[in-house]
Amino acid sequence: MQGTPDIQGRVWRHGKPQEDFTFDDISGYLREPDTLVWVDLCAPDHDALCDLAAELGLNTWAVEDALAAAERVKATAYETHTFFTVYAVRVAAKGADEPRRTLSMPGFRPSCFPAD
């Protein structure tokens, strides 16, 4: 394990941010009407992603795909959610010898879990 990942989140009810976010209650928040949940995992390890998948009832193969090296960009529809796997990019700062800005791929892929 890489150490403890930084896990933060926020719950909005009726369009207003709340202060009561806890990771283990995500599935409960999602059952509430007019509620939005955002989870931000910074440098998640395999265990953190598996915990999130279990909390959300995600397909375990989708999580494995998100962790696999050189996995292709895709969207996979499941019965309860659509799982997007995409590459993150960042704009590299203009260097002294570089005539223009360039994009770099830092080697990780965030995956989004929109509800139906």
Q: With a cut of 60, say whether residue 89 has pLDDT above it.
A: yes
pLDDT at site 68: 76
Instruction: Indicate the DSSP class of residue 79.
Output: S
Q: With a cut of 80, say whether residue 28 has pLDDT above it.
A: yes
The distance from CA 24 to its chain's CA centroid, rounded to whole angstroms, is 16
Q: Give the tokens for residue 16.
A: 């207003």
Phi, psi of 49 (to 5 degrees): -70, -40
pLDDT at site 16: 95
pLDDT at site 63: 77
Q: Give the tokens for residue 28.
A: 């409960």
